[in-house]
Structure formats: C-alpha cells, structure tokens
Amino acid sequence: MMAEKTDKKADPQQRFKKFLKGPWLWIAIALSVVFIGSTLMNTEQYAKVDTQVGLEMISSGSAEKVTIFDGDQRVDVVLRNPDAEFGDKVQFYFVSGRAEVVAETVASAQISEGWSDEVPSTPWILALLGSLLPFIIILALFWFLMSSMAGGGRGVMQFGKSKAKLVSKEMSKITFDDVAGIEEAHEELNELKEFLKNPKKFEEMGAKIPHGVLLYGPPGTGKTLIAKAVAGEAEVPFFSISGSDFVEMFVGVGASRVRDLFEQAKQAAPAIIFVDEIDAVGRHRGTGIGGGNDEREQTLNQLLVEMDGFDTSTNVILIAATNRPDVLDPALLRPGRFDRQVGVSAPDLKGREQILKVHSKNKPLGKKVDLALVARRTPGFTGADLANVLNEAALLAARLNRKEIDDEVLDEAIDRVIGGPQRKSAIMKDHERLVTAYHEAGHALVAGAANYADPVTKITILPRGRALGYTMVMPMEDRYSISRNQLLDQIAYAMGGRIAEEIVFKDPTTGASNDFEKATNIARTMVTKYGMSSKIGAISLGSGNAEPFLGRELATHRDFSDEMAQQVDIEVKVILETAMDEAHKALTTNRAVLDKLAKELLEKETLNQDEIATIFKAVKKLPKRTTWRSSTKRALSTKGPIAVPERKVKELKKSPTRRTKKTKDAAGTDS
C-alpha cells in the first residue's frame, strides 16, 4: 500500500520528465523562435493612409523616399517632414488598375532619395520552415503511429512493454460474495489467496506455491467473474491482461511483453497475473499448413520459459481462462506450469437458484415468484443465460408498464432466451396453423407415450425465432449421463412431428428438417461414440486428434474403412427407422388424444405442464423394449443391481482458516 502512494506522488514528476524527453518541448521552442523572428523583422511601423492621400503626398514633393512592392501592391513612403496626423512613415495600397497611375505619379514627382521597386521574396525563416515542413509532418505521423502501437502514448519504441492493467482491491467492486454456482473454482482460488497472505502455513506442511491455475469451461459459466472476484479480494497486486494483447504485427513484441509482464509481477511479488482467453497465444505449436514458427509461437515459448522459471521464493501465480482447452499446447498444461486445471461447467439446480437470487436482488419480483421453480425450468443454463433471463423479464415488465416481475413475464423471458422473440407479424393461414398444431402435438404425444422420455413441460404453436412452434421436453432434475433407452426415446419424439403429418394429412411439410438433423446426430453418435450398436460394437470411430488450425472438417482424421462407414450408415438408418415405427405406433394408438391435443392448441395456442398432464391421462404407453445386448454370444445375467444404501455424510473437522459456512449467493457470469 505504501508503494502505491509513493507512485501516485511521483506521477507529476514522471510526467514532467516524459514531457522534457518528448518532442512537444522542441516543437514549442521552434514555434517561439519563429514568432520572435517574425516580430523582430516587422519592428518598423507604417501608418496606413488612403490611396488618394498617398498619391497627393508624393506629387506634392513631400516624399523623401518611395518604395513600391509589386506583390503586395503596396507603396511605402518616407516623408521629408513628419505629418501632424500620420508621422514620417506612411503606406497605402492600390489595385492593379491604378498601377500605371501610381507609376506615373512616382516617376514625375520630386523625390530627394529617389524611389525603388521591391520584388516579392520569402523570408529565410519561412523558406526554411517550408522546406522542413514535409519532414516534420512525416516525423510527427511516425511518432503518432509508434505511440499508438505502444499503447496510447507511453513513448516511442516502448510497444514491447506489457499492456497489463494493475487492479487493486479498491478498484474492483466484485468479491467472492458475488460468485456462486462454481464452488470448485471458488475454493481453489480462495486457497490461492490464503497462500499469498499466509505462505508459512503451507510451507510448514511442505507445500509449494502453485505456478498456475487454468479455468476452462463453456462461455458464460463465470471464469472471468471469479478472476475479477480474486482481484477484489486479494490484498496483493493483480495484473490483468487479455491473450490477444500479446499478439502484435511486429516480430518479437509478444515475447517482449511477456518478459515485461512477469518482470513487473516479480518486482511486486506476491502478485497474481490473470490472462483471459489464453488460447489466443497458447495454441498448439507446430500445427497448421507449413508447421508454424510464427510470432505466436515465439510468444508461447517465452510464456513457457517464464512460468517454468519461477522459484519457490517468488510468490507469483498465473491464472488463465479459456473455453478452448483442447487447442492449448501440452507443454503449457503440464504440472509445474498449470498445476491445477479447474473445470467450470454449467451450474446445477442449486447453483442456478443461487444465481437467480443474486441477479434478482435489485429487481422487483412478485410475491408468488418461486426462483426454485424457475431454476428447475432452466436446466443447462449458464450464469450468463440466467442473468439474461432476469434481464429480459425486467425489460418485458417495463414494456408492459408493470410494477413487478411476475410468473407470466418470467415464462416469456425463458421462452425468448430459448427460442427467440415471438414473431407477432407472422400470420399463418388456418391450414398452416392446423398442420403446426398436429406437428407439435405429435412431438408431445410420442414423448408422453414413451417410457424413458422426460416430461413435456410446454407446447406452443406461436411462431418464435425460426420455428413455427415448439415442444419443450425437459428433465425435472440435473442429469449427468443418458441411457440408451432415453436416447432412443429422444429420437422417437423428434420424429413424432413428421409422423403426425403423414398420418393426418398424408402430405408432409418441410417443418421437420431440424428434427431430422437432431435425430440423425443422436443416432450417429450412438453408433460411432457410445458403442450402442451390436453390429458395430464397442468402438470409437473418428479420431478427435484434429489440427486446430486446419478446420474441423479438413483436419478430421478418418481411422476406419469405407466398408465400416457403409455399415455405420446402415445402423444409423436402422435406428431412425425403428424410432419412426415407434412414433407411428404411439400416434395411431392414441389418435383420439392427438386430435384433442391439436384442438386445444388451436384454441389456446400455448399449453403448460398441468394442462398437458390432464390431457395425457388417457395416453396408452408404448410397450417396453426388449433388453438390449451388445453381443448374443455373451450370456444374459439374471441378477440385477443391489439396493442403493443410505448415504452417510461425514462431517470433516474444519480448521479456523477454512470456510465454515457457504459463501453468499452470486452469479457465475462470463464477461
């Protein structure tokens, strides 16, 4: 803290020294010299008179000396005897039409010292300035460009300096109280803070300070937010920089900035360095057409050296964030550089509720709003998505001139985030509405008749985004794995819309294109990745070791034969055809429910979960599938799993330095 105050006091002196070293002082001196010189050259003052008066003075013989200036069309007259009004020096101007008159008057007059003509000439100072002006402009332009590359006027040729921002605790308004839903990352970074504040506690246990922590996960999960919270909580210097700030058009600038950054951090140790989007500089070396060895690789090499060059006495920790850990160089990820790699995934049900509570602090929620129910309706949402939901709800409430955010507004906000805004201008004909109603009813009814599908929570035929309607099938709780039967049910109800069109209208439409895409992707993944085909077997087809710089399609390594590819296509088609048969059976068996559901959709346009459950009471379930066997050669076991034992939770004794209660709720939003 004392060092910061000293630096602030020394700022004016440093600025004055930079001003003396810069070009502005010399420019000011040059302008002053020009001004003083022009002033000295024009010390003699002539009184200005009318042209007629001046000609009368010359013709009357009062002039002692006359000088005619051709370029300025000016006549300077020195009088023999000073005039009472104008003095002894006068001047007048004439137009080009009176040049002959002036010349005749001067020639015929009696002038004691005679007269002369002055040809216009440029003063030597102005001539010198005119010749140097192009060079001055070029130098000024060069200095401006170099200063811009240096990061906003930090001095010419200093663009190799680090562009990192030093963030203090007072500057950052985000703390650990503003972080929730990412408990693992919270604990790891909170431990780092304790390590920097009290290193002896860990050194007594033989622990060494970690060199780096890598935060990775999908966009919007809170990686940058947790780093900002560290800046707000840490009582040490916090250097923040983006990975793209190392990349420059000049060779060697990135490596120079890395050296300067780590040098600053070492001088200010203990300190924390945060590099956001490190994949901009930390991509795999030797990739791409030609092998690489460009400026980015030089920067990465210097980063590797600096991270590995830490000693145990230098308390500097590097925190990096990325949503592309697959493209990072393996040398960057090894222990000793990034000792910890913390995955930041989408929050679970409890985490979503906590995030919603934080983002709703400054919003007038209705008394009947249940955030736990909202969290249950938003599986898979990240912190950024949840923040967007509440923000959309607030905007809609303000648009409708409401005083508070109710369930209706929240429901519409969730739909807007999932499917986009409602297209009120899209007016469909009655036949198109009828087709859409049967299409969405087909999706919902197949899902309701399936044995392993998630419950149908909402059906609508209102156009939204690029869809004419949609059916929402969501799990009631968080799920981390999916069974084969659940995947087959997903394919079946994806085909339900198309099958309903075929059954009812005998003339299908183009509305099922997206359904086919989703179903085909699921089926192909089952065959090539999950080993859920008895003919293909438990084998993973298609290597994931792709070159990041070549593109996904160009770099995909095909590690299977044409015969295998043909067999995969056959198996995918078999799965899709079976799913369509199941959908057809479900719809024909429950045709009355299908018609009733379509009628309700035409009347109400949107059905919620309770209304759907009432209609689905008459649904006849599909028969359960036979037990799937990966191979008929292996005997089928008749013994099932054991009963799930009661979970026994052991409370660990926590030291005074560890958290004894959960951190306050907050949102994990990636900025």
C-alpha–C-alpha distance, residues 219 and 280, integer Å: 15
Cα angle 343, 550, 274 (rounded to 5 degrees) comes to 35
Token pair recorded at residue 283? 């991509």
Q: Give the DSSP letter of residue 293.
A: -
Question: What tokens appear for 83 in the block?
Answer: 């005039």
Per the structure block, which two tokens stand in for 119? 């040809």
First and final C-alpha spacing in the chain: 28
- Residue holding tokens 């393996």? 330
The phi and psi torsions of 269 (rounded to 5 degrees) equal: -55, 145
Cα distances (angstroms) measured from residue 91 to each of 69, 106, 523: 11, 14, 101
Residue 81's SS3 state is strand
Residue 349, C-beta contacts closer than 8 angstroms, at least 6 positions apart = 375, 376, 379, 477, 478
Q: Which of 233, 248, 295, 440 is catalytic?
A: 440
> CA nearest 317: which of 436, 429, 194?
194
β-pairing, 606-608 vs 456-460, is: antiparallel
Three-state DSSP string of 611-660: HHHHHHHHCCCCCCCCCCCCCCCCCCCCCCCCCCCCCCCCCCCCCCCCCC
Q: Which two tokens stand for residue 227?
A: 């780093």
Cα(318)–Cα(240) distance, rounded to whole angstroms? Answer: 10
Q: Is 547 a catalytic residue?
A: no
- The Cα 101–Cα 75 span in angstroms is 13
Q: In terms of Cα–Cα distance, which of 283, 273, 282, 266 is closest to 241?
A: 273
Tokens for 111, please give them: 């002038």
Distance CA 511, CA 583 (A): 17
DSSP 478: -
Instruction: Give catalytic residue positions.
Output: 440
